[in-house]
Amino acid sequence: MGLYDKFSRLAAERTHFQDSGASPFGTRIDAVYSPTEGRIGDKDVILAGTNNYLGLTFDAQAIEAAQQALAAEGTGTTGSRMANGSYGGHTALEAELAAFLDRPSVMVFSTGYVANLGIIGSLAGPREVVLLDADCHASIYDACALGGAQIIRFQHNDAKDLERRMLRLGAQAKDALIIVEGIYSMLGDTAPLKEIVDIKRRLGGYLLVDEAHSFGVMGPNGRGLSEALGVEADVDIILGTFSKSLAAIGGFAAGRSGMEVLRYASRPYIFTASPSPSVVASVRSALRAIATRPELRECLWSNAHRLYDGLASLGYALGPHVSPVVPVMVGTKEQGLGFWRALIDQGVYVNLVLPPATPAGVTLVRCSVSAAHTPQQIDQIIQAFSVLRPLAELAG
Amino acid sequence: MFTQHTILENVLICLRDMVPLSEQVGPDSDLVNDLGLESVKMMDLLMKLEDEYDLSIPINILMDVRTPRQLANALVAYVEKSHGAV
């Protein structure tokens, strides 16, 4: 048996979806003009599949900060923090995030994925039980697998199901790690965090919230769903990413002071090159923007409501909550591919997401809204969906 | 009273609800290659069985499971621990 034979089903599917036209698995954005405009091939498109929630990728201050760091400290750190040392920017960013989140400890990682591996994979070993929302991101599953934790899933966003499964654990429940997300990346819905906190108060356990899609997006100060629902004190660890509202790449974990020991125990933290100075500088600048420009969040949510309401009025089946992630259900995989390509032809780029990466086996085109979208751009997106409504009806 | 046979039957009943009617589901069907069960569906199947037996069964057991019979065998230890000898 050949080394790649086990991927034959995957290879066949990939070939099937690449036989003609643009492929959702390898989209090339040939030019990026702004946070919301680009070009695919010879087609100018509105970018509505970027997770660029606050539109800060072209923020003048962030770019200037990155350019200054690039000139002053070079293109990369060329090593890990433990072996090669931390730069001033790393520790400053950690201190600024700690102050922003009002947490004693913050650790910065090179990507959000690595942050999950580094924290969950280190904390949840073979003797630990992790109670995981069934729709959690693949990085969380991978992190649990890395540590060898015993993984118990509960039904997506079903606090009663979580409670039932915790009760089954008996005495183990008080030490279990509960993991949920602020905003779920596929359906854009939010965790029932108040109900989950209530269960944690009664049955014990530790609570970790991955705020990858909600940091900078939710809460009066942009600290995420935990802040929006007033339950920050009950959340033991917050995980986040720099690659969405913070418009760069990297990730972080914020927790209680005991978390500091993971700097010496977390292999994904120890054995990874640290974030580049320019990345750290732009993230620090974007964090300041989140802290001082609440109008970005207001604009984002205004756009999210505009798009959600517009698509709902066209009769599309959408996710359950209004959020900056607006998923549209579009029938089978083949119908979804046709719809996605037709949207590009209409000048709109979104994400096509196919099962098994989607909940309940649905195919969806996933729009993500930005504060940088103008109302006119949102209307153009709605207009494209309006033109394609007959195609969606065929898709059932 | 649970037996190895009834546990296997339960696995097959739960499984038949999750695959197209046209699929022939047997104790030794390959869950992935014969029945096309993706990893998420495997985990959903396990959730159903946890509820069926009112048990906590970590998804880690799926690493070594290829067929319904193997899944039933893996469940036996958990059922015994909770409900007595099978």
- pLDDT digit string, tens, across residues A299-339: 999 999 999 999 999 999 999 999 999 999 998 888 899 99
Domain boundaries B4-83, corresponding CATH code: 1.10.1200.10
Least confident range from A226-240, A311-325, A347-361: namely: A347-361
What confidence category does residue A283 fall into, taking pLDDT thresholds of 50, 70 and 90? Answer: very high
Tell me how far apart the alpha carbons of residues A167 and A171 are, in angstroms, rounded to a whole number.
9
Contact state of A153 with B55 under an 8 Å Cβ cutoff: no
* pLDDT for res A21: 67
* pLDDT for res A114: 98
Q: Is the pLDDT of residue A163 over 90?
A: yes
Q: Is the pLDDT of residue A396 over 70?
A: no
Contact state of A151 with B59 under an 8 Å Cβ cutoff: yes
Q: Is the pLDDT of residue B36 over 90?
A: no
* pLDDT for res A394: 59
**Average pLDDT of span A153-170:** 97
Give pLDDT tens digits for A147-156: 999 999 999 9
**Average pLDDT of span A104-121:** 98
- Whether A166 contacts A173, CB under 8 Å: yes
Least confident range from A36-40, A351-355, A374-378: namely: A351-355
Q: Is the pLDDT of residue B54 over 80?
A: yes
* pLDDT for res A240: 98
What distances in angstroms separate CA A136 from CA A76, A182, A183, A205, one per listed residue?
32, 10, 10, 18
Q: At what angle do helices B68-83 and B4-16 cross, to 10 degrees?
A: 120
Q: Is the pLDDT of residue A20 over 80?
A: no
> Which SS3 state, helix, strand or coil, does residue A189 take?
coil
* pLDDT for res A390: 86
Q: Tell me whether residue A6 is one of the annotated catalytic residues.
A: no
Q: Is the pLDDT of residue A9 over 80?
A: no
* Residue count (chain B): 86
Tell me how far apart the alpha carbons of residues B79 and B86 are, in angstroms, rounded to a whole number.
8
What confidence category does residue A11 fall into, taking pLDDT thresholds of 50, 70 and 90? Answer: confident
Q: Is the pLDDT of residue A245 over 90?
A: yes
For residue B54, which residues of chain A lie inside 8 Å, CB to CB? Answer: 168
Q: Tell me whether residue A200 is one of the annotated catalytic residues.
A: no
Options A90, A137, A200, A213, the catalytic residue: A213
Q: CA of A153: which chain B residue's CA is closest? A: B47
Q: CA of B59: which chain A residue's CA is closest? A: A151
Options A185, A243, A274, A282, the catalytic residue: A185
Mutate which: B33, B60, B63, B78, vs A, most A CBs within 10 A: B60
* pLDDT for res B69: 95
Predicted model pTM: 0.94
Q: State the residue for tokens 């970590």.
A: B58
Nearest to A153 among B43, B54, B55 (CB): B43
* pLDDT for res A375: 98
What distances in angstroms separate CA A357 from CA A142, A364, B12, one per listed residue?
14, 10, 25
Distance from CA of B60 to the nearest CA of A (A): 6
Complete domains list, chain A, with CATH? 5-57+294-395 (3.90.1150.10), 77-275 (3.40.640.10)
Q: Tell me whether residue A213 is one of the annotated catalytic residues.
A: yes
Q: Is the pLDDT of residue A157 over 70?
A: yes
- Label residues B74-85 b or e (16+ Cβ within 10 Å = b): bbbebbeeeeee
Nearest to B38 among A151, A169, A356 (CB): A356
Contact state of B58 with A355 under an 8 Å Cβ cutoff: no
Query: ipTM of this model?
Result: 0.89
Contact state of A152 with B58 under an 8 Å Cβ cutoff: yes
For residue A361, which residues of chain B lie inside 8 Å, CB to CB? Answer: 41
Residue A55 φ/ψ region, left for φ over 0, alpha for ψ in the -120 to 50 degree band, beta for the rest: left
For residue B46, which residues of chain A lie inside 8 Å, CB to CB? Answer: 153
Q: Is the pLDDT of residue B71 over 90?
A: yes
Nearest to A168 among B44, B56, B60 (CB): B56
Query: Chain A: which residues have CB within 8 Å of chain B?
Result: 129, 134, 148, 150-153, 155, 165, 168-169, 355-356, 361
Can you give the residue ranges of every domain in chain B?
Answer: 4-83
What confidence category does residue B81 fall into, taking pLDDT thresholds of 50, 70 and 90? Answer: confident
Residue A221 φ/ψ region, left for φ over 0, alpha for ψ in the -120 to 50 degree band, beta for the rest: alpha
* pLDDT for res B3: 86
For B7-16, the CB contacts below 8 A with 24+ separation are: B7/B72, B7/B75, B7/B76, B7/B79, B7/B86, B8/B68, B8/B69, B8/B72, B10/B49, B10/B52, B10/B72, B11/B45, B11/B49, B11/B68, B11/B71, B11/B72, B11/B75, B12/B68, B14/B45, B14/B48, B14/B49, B14/B52, B15/B45, B15/B68
Distance from CA of A140 to the nearest CA of B (A): 14
What confidence category does residue A16 fall into, taking pLDDT thresholds of 50, 70 and 90? Answer: confident
What confidence category does residue A395 fall into, taking pLDDT thresholds of 50, 70 and 90? Answer: low
Q: Is the pLDDT of residue A285 over 90?
A: yes
Q: Is the pLDDT of residue A12 over 70?
A: yes
